[in-house]
Structure 1
């Protein structure tokens, strides 16, 4: 099956005094039609930069896309003119941003912000666009959508603003939805509601989803595959079951060990990942995780590990997977 989205050797950097920060360093992945894929990792690992590069929303100054291709429905998005890209944003690719309060226009009603997308991409009349917008607000679970249509963002709660963002992103039935930390700063009850909304809308519209998050706990119920990023690179990728049940990279195992679990004793402490990520203005020549890895070998600091296939859908970049590596207790 032809992938809906295919990213190859993407490299994004930000010039700084005396050099540049290599935020994304040669990543590649694909998304199939109707598939939900999570990109997980610590803050600063390149998740949001990757999403903004796909949408072509990175500022031309100072961001620089050094190399790579981003093919969506067969088109290389990096080669399109801005006018062509504007016809894709909102229509074929929707995006939910991290903070709805700063993403929504405080001077415009919620209804007007949704209908603006419909007017631009679907040429609906005012009455048709209003009816569609109210239907979308109802679909994402906003009570009394007809009256909420005329309200402003400050009149909505945090969870309702996020739902309004989802309604706006899905108004034109996009083939791909990028959800960048859609549950940040929301309490656990609202988080669960937002994830249920995304899951039901995916089933109804067949939309592919890229869920960007640092929280593996919200991935299990929504996503089919997981991509683990660290220091601007993909260190492991696999199905949800493979990542949760058989993690192969020490960083992935560290993320899982640091999660609270209900089957742990209340006196059992969480195990953090000690240390800090590397400075990407001067990235290490070897594995970016070696300084924080308890199983690091000499070769880890000297050479970057190649991707090793563990199965048909599972791979990781770690020297411990090399046939000559020492046995390590998992």
Structure 2
């Protein structure tokens, strides 16, 4: 898929990425021909249900997929024009934590319980920045202060269990930002936190993005948390990108039935107390035997006959919005086929 968006400088370019896992039952096709781009200083959300391929995409960018059982079948991941998939593990170690930082889902399992937080933040600085111990310590204090941890001179000597969940997540953010990466990947960064702390962490990420001009990929299943900090939204389903657009386009003018379903299942402030949320009925397809046609076909009220047998191509709706759905095909619109299982393209 080629973007027609008037770009700044393209930082990350994922091209036709396909990733599988070889398990006892067969080949799980976790990522199927995924393409997208991230610009400098841009915040992009990747949203979708559990199992849609969001985290596998992020881990592939970071080259954290365990191989085997994982297998990168096809594609390129270009960071500033350099294909990360072609690098050796030693070369990739110079990229992780330096050019790309990552915030993982659970801060308690992301941190080493036997090391002080100061040493854990300092680790990347000493490896990538060639700083002396004193310079690294000063940078750690600066980072802890930047992410809103009080008394950083004292706190850097403490262990993860001495921090609350929100403070541990701030430490993880400090580790990810230590070497001023050009790209920050946040994989469900607020899942393990309560609502109040979620808001604080998201506001912190927004502030840091503006201060440091860092590009952000925010991976989440919750559309509600992307509205404030993200510029664009990428919707994934069954290992594929099904719709992309600006935040305004996705929230105000969704075109894919799956995107519409996600939004209908989201609580709204203008919703009546007795008005129920509308879930997406059914379950995602088995990616050991992915559907021959559209992955959302079995759960879609507007599916047509062609949806069962042919994978739809991308339809460019604007300079910033595209969708992978047969309902956008000119023939489907001419036939007025929406809602008819018998219609074909």
TM-score scaled by structure 2?
0.94
Q: Residues 13-53 of structure 1: CA distance to partner in whole angstroms, max 9, x if unpaired?
A: 00122420000000000000000000000001000000000
1:241-256 matched pairs, under 5 angstroms: 241-256=248-263
**Cα distance in 2, alignment partners of residues 178 and 233 from structure 1:** 19
Match of 1:271 in 2: 278
**Cα distance in 1, alignment partners of residues 44 and 337 from structure 2:** 31
Q: How many residues align?
A: 329
More displaced stretch, 89-98 vs 17-26: 17-26
Q: Residues 158-205 of structure 1: CA distance to partner in whole angstroms, max 9, x if unpaired?
A: 111100000010011000000000001211110110011101110111
2:78 corresponds to 1:75: no
1:167-316 matched pairs, under 5 angstroms: 167-316=174-323
SS in 2 for 1:127: helix
**Cα distance in 2, alignment partners of residues 9 and 184 from structure 1:** 29
Match of 2:64 in 1: 57
Match of 1:144 in 2: 151
Of 40, 64, 69, 2:47 maps to: 40
Of 142, 165, 174, 1:135 maps to: 142
Give 1:327 shift: 5.3
More displaced stretch, 259-268 vs 15-24: 15-24
**Cα distance in 2, alignment partners of residues 328 and 218 from structure 1:** 31
**Cα distance in 2, alignment partners of residues 185 and 116 from structure 1:** 25
Match of 2:14 in 1: 7
Match of 2:29 in 1: 22
**Cα distance in 1, alignment partners of residues 21 and 90 from structure 2:** 25
**Cα distance in 1, alignment partners of residues 129 and 325 from structure 2:** 48
**Cα distance in 2, alignment partners of residues 196 and 137 from structure 1:** 16
In structure 2, the gaps of 5 or more residues are 1-7, 340-345
**Cα distance in 2, alignment partners of residues 74 and 312 from structure 1:** 23
**Cα distance in 2, alignment partners of residues 64 and 2 from structure 1:** 30
Give 1:279 shift: 0.1
Match of 1:86 in 2: 93
TM-score scaled by structure 1?
0.98
Give 1:225 shift: 0.4
**Cα distance in 2, alignment partners of residues 182 and 328 from structure 1:** 38
In structure 1, the gaps of 5 or more residues are none
Task: Tell me if the contact between 2:105 and 2:192 (Cα under 8 Å) persists in the aligned partners.
Answer: no
**Cα distance in 1, alignment partners of residues 126 and 303 from structure 2:** 56
SS in 2 for 1:324: helix
**Cα distance in 1, alignment partners of residues 256 and 118 from structure 2:** 46
Give 1:328 shift: 3.9
Match of 2:4 in 1: none
After the TM superposition, which segments of 4 or more aligned residues of structure 1 sit over 2 Å from their partners?
326-329
CA RMSD, Structure 1 to Structure 2 (Å): 0.9
Q: Residues 265-324 of structure 1: CA distance to partner in whole angstroms, max 9, x if unpaired?
A: 111000000000000000000100010001111111111111101111100011111112
Match of 1:99 in 2: 106
